[in-house]
């Protein structure tokens, strides 16, 4: 059988969805201030806003939930969670949190000295905001090829090692508090990072005594790409590859809402005992006792199973394969997308699809609204609305929830985008009428610009 048709699960529980009529979609969108975050999910047919916390759990995860131990301290579910994270990451000191940004907050408030630089391949928006909130200066070092959405090369999520080396030499190691490697690199179109790159960054970090942390939300997808693309890894399991990645770092932060296959959850893990002791104290203040950290015992139990399932090769082949299938279909239809596709999403280049809409009229926002009007599909703008004038691209991210949608659903997305491309001149730009600050896109309001 053609492996592209292999699906390693079948459906046991279904959630009804429906497409509301176009006139209603027009009204709802207007009421939402043309911001898709303001829509109710009941008014959405296919929701590709994020892959975070939106996945379907397996029967093994639901069974684990029933066995969740809700003891305040020392629960059995925490012991299982700890053992799983320890096995995957190899880090001895582990603290659960309610999601990724809480792990960032706890780690940065204990590990970063205000005024210093924190370097990354590219920071995710909450990670960057947490660095700034600590009084530090985030700096991104993507490789130059990543800035070309069409350059067909592997591992466009890599950190620019030469630029990193020069920066460390110029500013001196004392001025740099930490290096954070985001794998996969969400803000850079979900591109993976190679093991060779992790190793090179790790060597620089170790040579200068700079702590290296991995932002590991999508480490399993990243390991799948290493297995496929990097020589010497084809026979290794994703678990072995992830372990090798973590062995090169001093710790990690993780949103388990992605490759933990959970609807909520996260953690931080590290080797340094003194840092752990500080983080543990902080955790009690902002999240909870160290054996639950903002989660119910049942959440920890579900994550203990989900973190392992996300590393299964059949699961990953299906997962990354589904994203790739959508990307190839869209590219085949002439829809401009970031190439090659990453692990969790397809990024449509709205700047290219709508060349008549200049960046200051938010082509990504215009396209995301058009997609909702056309077929009730919700996607996420990653361009001038989210990132302001610093936006390098005008993307609309089609993030694929894990184990949720079928090929038919994705075919509806392709059809909608083909229709929109066919009448692109009719799509108007947007004007921002309310919203400011680095996280403005969550609450901003827009208006279409009438000619």
Choose the stretch contacting ligand F0G; rule: CB under 6 A; options: 17-25, 122-130, 271-279, 301-309: 122-130
- Considering the rule CB under 6 A, would residue 52 count as an interface residue with ligand F0G? yes
Kindly state whether residue 266 participates in binding ligand F0G, applying the rule CB under 6 A: yes
Q: Determine the size of the site formed for ligand F0G (CB under 6 A).
A: 15
99 binds ligand F0G (CB under 6 A): yes
Segment interacting with ligand F0G, rule: CB under 6 A, options 94-102, 154-162, 220-228, 271-279: 94-102
Nearest residue (CB) to ligand F0G, 383 versus 429: 383
- Which residue's structure tokens are 């990307």? 327
Q: Is 121 in the site for ligand F0G (CB under 6 A)?
A: no
Query: At closest approach, how far in Å is the CB of 365 from ligand F0G?
Result: 16
Q: Give whichever of 342 and 429 is closer to ligand F0G, judged by the CB atom.
A: 342
Single residue of 35, 120, 158, 186 touching ligand F0G by CB under 6 A: 186
Q: Shortest distance, CB of residue 254 to ligand F0G, whole angstroms? A: 8
Give yes or no for residue 101 binding ligand F0G (CB under 6 A). Answer: yes
Yes or no: say if 116 and 137 are a contact pair by the CB < 8 Å rule.
yes
Instruction: State in angstroms the smallest separation of the CB of 295 from ligand F0G.
Output: 12
Instruction: Tell me which of 33, 100, 149, 341 binds ligand F0G, using CB under 6 A.
Output: 100
d(CA 248, CA 181): 11
- State the SS3 of the chain: CCHHHCCCCCCCCCCCCCCCCHHHHHHHHHHCCCCHHHCCHHHCCEECCCCCCCCCCCHHHHHHHHCCCCCCCCCHHHHHHHHHHHHHHCCCEEEEECCHHHHHHHHHHHHCCCCCEEEECCCCHHHHHHHHHCCCEEEECECHHHHCCCCCCCCCCCECHHHHHHHHHHHCHHHEEEEEEECCEHHHCCECCCHHHHHHHHHHHHHHCCCEEEECCCHHHHHHHHHHHCCCCCCCCHHHHHHHHHHCCCEEEEECCCCCCCCCCEEEEECCHHHHHHHHHHHHHHCCCCCCCCCCHHHHHHHHHHHHHCCCHHHHHHHHHHHHHHHHHHHHCCCCECCCCCCCEEEEEHHHHCCCCCHHHCHHHHHHHHHHHHHCEECEEECHHHHHHHCCCCEEEEECCCCCCCHHHHHHHHHHHHHHHHCHHHCCCEEEEECCCCCHHHCCEEEECCC
Beta carbon of residue 143, minimum distance to ligand F0G (angstroms, whole number) = 17
Number of other residues whose CB lies within 10 A of the CB of residue 373: 16
Q: Under the phi-then-psi rule, with left for phi > 0, alpha for psi from -120 to 50, and beta for the rest, what region is 140?
A: beta
> What phi and psi values does residue 390 have, to the nearest 5 degrees?
-75, -10
List 35, 75, 89, 255, residue binding ligand F0G (CB under 6 A): 255
- The yes or no reply on residue 124 touching ligand F0G (CB under 6 A) is yes
Q: What is the dihedral of CA 255, 275, 88, 294, to 10 degrees?
A: -40
Comparison of 61 and 182: residue with beta carbon closer to ligand F0G: 182
Q: Which tokens go with 5?
A: 């048709």
Nearest-approach distance from CB 181 to ligand F0G, in angstroms: 10
Binding to ligand F0G by residue 50, rule CB under 6 A?
A: yes
User: Smaller CB distance to ligand F0G: residue 101 or 428?
Assistant: 101
Question: Given phi > 0 = left and psi -120 to 50 = alpha, else beta, which region is 293?
Answer: left
Q: Which is nearer to ligand F0G, 69 or 250 (CB)?
A: 250
Q: Which is nearer to ligand F0G, 94 or 421 (CB)?
A: 94
Q: Which residue is nearest to ligand F0G (CB)?
A: 100
Question: Judged by CB under 6 A, which stretch of 82-90, 119-127, 227-235, 410-418 contacts ligand F0G?
Answer: 119-127
Which 347-406 positions form the footprint of ligand F0G (CB under 6 A)?
none
Of 23-31, 123-131, 154-162, 196-204, the window that binds ligand F0G (rule: CB under 6 A) is 123-131
State which of residues 58, 75, 126, 263 lies at the interface with ligand F0G (CB under 6 A).
Answer: 126
Instruction: Tell the smallest beta-carbon distance from residue 178 to ligand F0G (Å).
Output: 15
| Closer CB to ligand F0G, 367 or 421, in the complex | 367
Shortest CB 52 distance to ligand F0G, Å: 4
If one asks whether residue 55 binds ligand F0G (CB under 6 A), the answer comes out as no
User: Cis (ω within 30 of 0) for the bond into 391?
Assistant: no
Q: Looking at 97-105, 173-181, 287-295, 306-314, which segment touches ligand F0G (CB under 6 A)?
A: 97-105
Instruction: Determine if 127 is a binding residue for ligand F0G (CB under 6 A).
Output: yes
Token readout for 334 is 């002439």
77 binds ligand F0G (CB under 6 A): no
Q: How far is the CB of 8 from ligand F0G (least distance, A)?
A: 24
Catalog residues that contact ligand F0G under the rule CB under 6 A: 50, 52, 99-101, 124, 126-127, 182, 186, 215, 217, 255, 257, 266
């Amino acid at each position: 059988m053609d492996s592209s048709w292999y699906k390693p699960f079948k459906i046991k529980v279904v959630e009804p969805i429906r497409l509301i009529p176009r006139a209603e979609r027009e009204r709802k969108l207007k009421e939402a201030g043309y911001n898709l975050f303001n829509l109710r999910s009941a008014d959405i047919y296919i929701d590709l806003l994020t892959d975070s916390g939106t996945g379907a759990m397996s029967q093994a995860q639901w069974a684990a939930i029933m066995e969740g131990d809700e003891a305040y301290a020392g629960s059995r579910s925490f012991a299982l969670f700890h053992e799983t994270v320890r096995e995957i990451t190899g880090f001895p000191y582990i603290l659960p949190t309610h999601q990724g940004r809480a792990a960032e907050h706890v780690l940065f408030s204990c590990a970063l000295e205000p005024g210093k630089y924190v370097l990354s391949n590219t920071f995710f928006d909450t990670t960057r905001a947490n660095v700034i909130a600590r009084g530090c200066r985030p700096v991104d070092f993507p490789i130059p090829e990543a800035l070309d959405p069409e350059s067909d090369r592997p591992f466009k999520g890599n950190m620019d090692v030469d630029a990193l080396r020069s920066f460390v030499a110029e500013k001196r190691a004392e001025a740099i508090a930490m290096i954070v490697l985001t794998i996969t690199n969400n803000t850079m179109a979900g591109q993976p990072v190679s093991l060779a790159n992790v190793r090179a960054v790790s060597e620089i970090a170790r040579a200068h005594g700079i702590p290296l942390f991995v932002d590991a939300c999508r480490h399993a997808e990243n390991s799948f790409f290493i297995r496929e693309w990097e020589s010497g890894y084809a026979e290794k399991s994703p678990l072995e590859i992830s372990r090798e990645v973590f062995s090169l770092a001093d710790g990690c932060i993780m949103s388990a809402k992605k490759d933990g296959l959970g609807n909520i959850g996260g953690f931080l893990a590290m080797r340094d005992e003194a840092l752990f002791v500080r983080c543990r104290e902080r955790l009690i203040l902002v999240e909870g006792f160290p054996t639950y950290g903002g989660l119910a015992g049942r959440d920890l139990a579900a994550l203990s199973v989900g973190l392992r399932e996300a590393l299964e090769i059949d699961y990953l082949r299906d997962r990354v394969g589904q994203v790739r299938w959508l990307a190839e279909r869209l590219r085949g239809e002439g829809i401009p997308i970031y190439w090659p596709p990453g692990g969790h999403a397809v990024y449509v280049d709205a700047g290219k699809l709508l060349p008549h809409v200049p960046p200051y009229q938010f082509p990504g926002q215009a396209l995301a609204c058009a997609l909702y009007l056309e077929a009730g599909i919700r996607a996420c703008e990653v361009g001038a609305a989210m990132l302001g004038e610093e936006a390098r691209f005008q993307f609309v991210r089609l993030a694929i929830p894990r184990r949720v949608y079928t090929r038919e659903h994705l075919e509806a997305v392709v059809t909608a985008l083909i229709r929109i491309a066919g009448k692109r001149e009719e799509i108007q730009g947007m004007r921002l009428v309310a919203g400011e600050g680095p996280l403005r896109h969550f609450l901003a309001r827009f208006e279409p610009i009438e000619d």
